[in-house]
Amino acid sequence: MSRVAEFLTRRRGGSGWDWTDIFTWVWLIAGIFVMFGPAVWLVLSSFKTPAALAEFPPTVLPMATEQVMVEGYDNPLELYSVSMPDGSEQVLAQVRRVGTIAQMVDPDAPDEIVKVNIAERTPQRRVAFATENYVVPLEQNDFLLYLRNSVFVTVMATIITLLTNSMAAFALSKYRFRGRDGVMLLIVATLMVPLSVILVPLYSVVNAVGLFDSLWGVILPTVATPTGVFLLRQYMLTIPDELLDAARMDHASEWQIYWRIILPLAAPALAVLAIFSIVWRWNDFLWPLVVLSRKELYTLQVGLNTYAGELNVQWHYILAMTVVTMIPVVLVFVFLQRYITAGIAGSGLK
């Protein structure tokens, strides 16, 4: 502990503590609780049984009442520790409860029924993870379908985004042609056109080209990202033209130059765009909500929202599925956080 304290209190320059240091650490420690706490609480809650979720005050860890099979009873019975009239503590299984009286049996001597006031008994509880919250929706509900749809949309949209954006960026950075600046200006200008402004006409366009209620209707409108073209173009501008000229001397075709030279050299920028595209497409909500009407086509986000909007909200399943929805993004965060933060700090894209 003293080493931890020493680590926390160590300061550069060796001068004493002033209020800014205290404020810094209060802010940082509070930050951990406020930023991580809700997600941790979600994960812990997702392992609780419906009964445990309805409890107030809630327990931190998922707990369940211990159960035991008793001879002569078909269903497992819940175990309670009971304070007996003689002052001793005894572990009994509850058969049924009538009003304030519980009928209990000793698991070792199941013939004799003991009547106990419910105030005299406390449930025997231990930490138990209700994994059925995860297993049941993945087996029965449409959840696996939603998961598949989301993966399909994310993978396809990202591949097409990388391909079309890099081709356009190549043309805009390495060729001189009339109207190039015009095209670039058009792309940059639409950086500020959000989906919500063109929602209604986009819906009719997607209908007119026959993509309504299909996953391609979700994918195609999102792939021509101005951000992606802009990011890749800025990166490709730094690739020296001499490389391209040398390749042309060796009779490389323009396609080969794009494919064999530009793409490998732009790999860092492509990686950043790929990460962002995966996160964007995985998280998309409003557009899939508008364009998908058949339930079996829903993406995870739309499906989750539908479950949560039902009259009888089944929180135990919803919490578990929220955790599943979070997993890919958390993986991206853990492994690729450095690239993302560098990308944001460098270009202000999100």
Partner 1 sequence: MATRSISSRIGAVLAAPVIWLARLLNLPLKWWQGMTGTGGMAAFFLAPNMAIFGIFVLLPLVINFAYSMTSGQALFLSDRSYVGGEQYARLMDCGNYLDPTTCREDLFWIALRNTALFVVVQVSMMTVVAMITALILNREIRGRGFWRAVFFFPVLLSPVVVGLIWRWILQREGLLNFILYNVGLEPHVWLTDRFYSFVATVGVSVWAHMGFYTLILLAGLQAIPRDLYEAAEMDGTRAGRVFWRITLPLLMPNLLVVIVLALIRAVQIFDEAYVLTGGGPGTSTLYLTQYIYEVGFASLLRNPGLAAAASIIMGLILVVLTLIQLGLGRRNEKAGERK
Rounded CA gap, 189 and 184, in Å? Answer: 9
d(CA 268, CA 339): 9
Site for partner 1 in 283-302 (CB under 8 A): 283, 285-286, 289-290, 301
CA distances from 116 to 104, 125, 179, 295 (A): 7, 19, 88, 50
Nearest distance, CB of residue 40 and partner 1, angstroms: 10
Q: Which is nearer to partner 1, 7 or 115 (CB)?
A: 7
Binding to partner 1, residues 44-83 (CB under 8 A): 45, 54-58
What's the closest the beta carbon of residue 201 comes to partner 1, in angstroms?
Answer: 4
The smaller minimum CB distance to partner 1, of residues 36 and 73, is found at 36
315 binds partner 1 (CB under 8 A): yes
Quick one: tokens of 248? 């042309």
| Residues from 92 through 151 that contact partner 1 (CB under 8 A) | none
In 19-36, which positions are buried (b, 16+ CB within 10 angstroms) versus exposed (e)?
eeeeeeeeeeeeeeeeee
**Binding of partner 1 by 269 (CB under 8 A):** no
Q: Which is nearer to partner 1, 109 or 344 (CB)?
A: 344
Residue 39 found at the interface with partner 1 (CB under 8 A): yes
Strands 101-106 and 121-123: unpaired
Say which residue the tokens 């409003």 belong to.
286
Site for partner 1 in 220-239 (CB under 8 A): 220-221, 223-224, 226, 229
> Whole-angstrom Cα distance, residue 223 to residue 225?
5
Determine if 308 is a binding residue for partner 1 (CB under 8 A): yes
Tell me whether the omega of the peptide bond preceding residue 328 falls within 30 degrees of 0, making it cis: no
Q: Which is nearer to partner 1, 122 or 253 (CB)?
A: 253
- Which part of the chain contacts partner 1 (CB under 8 A), choosing from 64-72, 96-104, 186-194, 264-272? 186-194
Residue type, 161: T
Of 138 and 340, which has the nearer Cβ to partner 1?
340
309 binds partner 1 (CB under 8 A): yes
Dihedrals phi, psi of 205, to nearest 5 degrees: -65, -45
By CB under 8 A, what part of segment 150-169 binds partner 1?
A: 163-165, 167-168
Q: Which residue has the tokens 């309504």?
A: 212
247 binds partner 1 (CB under 8 A): no
Task: List CB contacts of 80: < 8 A, sequence separation 6 or more.
Answer: 91, 92, 93, 94, 102, 104, 116, 121, 122, 123, 124
Site membership for partner 1, residue 335 (CB under 8 A): no
Write out the H or E segment, with its range, that includes residue 313. Answer: none
Find, among 142, 150, 9, 133, the residue nearest to 62 by Cα.
Answer: 133
Minimum distance between the CB of residue 147 and partner 1, rounded to whole angstroms?
14
Other Cβ atoms less than 10 A from the Cβ of 42: the count is 14
**Total residues contacting partner 1 (rule CB under 8 A)?**
98
Alpha-carbon distance values, 296 to 30, 111, 141, 154, 293 (Å): 42, 53, 11, 17, 9
Rounded to the nearest whole angstrom, what is the least distance from the CB of residue 141 to partner 1 in the complex? 16
Shorter beta-carbon distance to partner 1: residue 136 or 332:
332
- Kindly state the smallest distance separating residue 255's Cβ from partner 1, in Å: 4
Q: Cβ closer to partner 1: 130 or 168?
A: 168
DSSP-derived 3-state class of residue 177: coil
User: 70 — phi, psi (to 5°)?
Assistant: -115, 140
Q: Which of 68, 95, 183, 261 binds partner 1 (CB under 8 A)?
A: 183
Q: Which stretch binds partner 1 (CB under 8 A): 76-84, 121-129, 131-139, 330-338?
A: 330-338
Instruction: Provide the token pair at 324.
Output: 């599943």
CB-nearer residue toward partner 1: 79 or 162: 162
Span 187-216, contacts to partner 1 by CB under 8 A: 187, 190, 192-194, 196-209
**In this chain, which stretch among 26-34, 67-75, 80-88, 134-142 interacts with partner 1, using CB under 8 A?**
26-34
Backbone φ, ψ for residue 224 (5° rounding): -85, 55
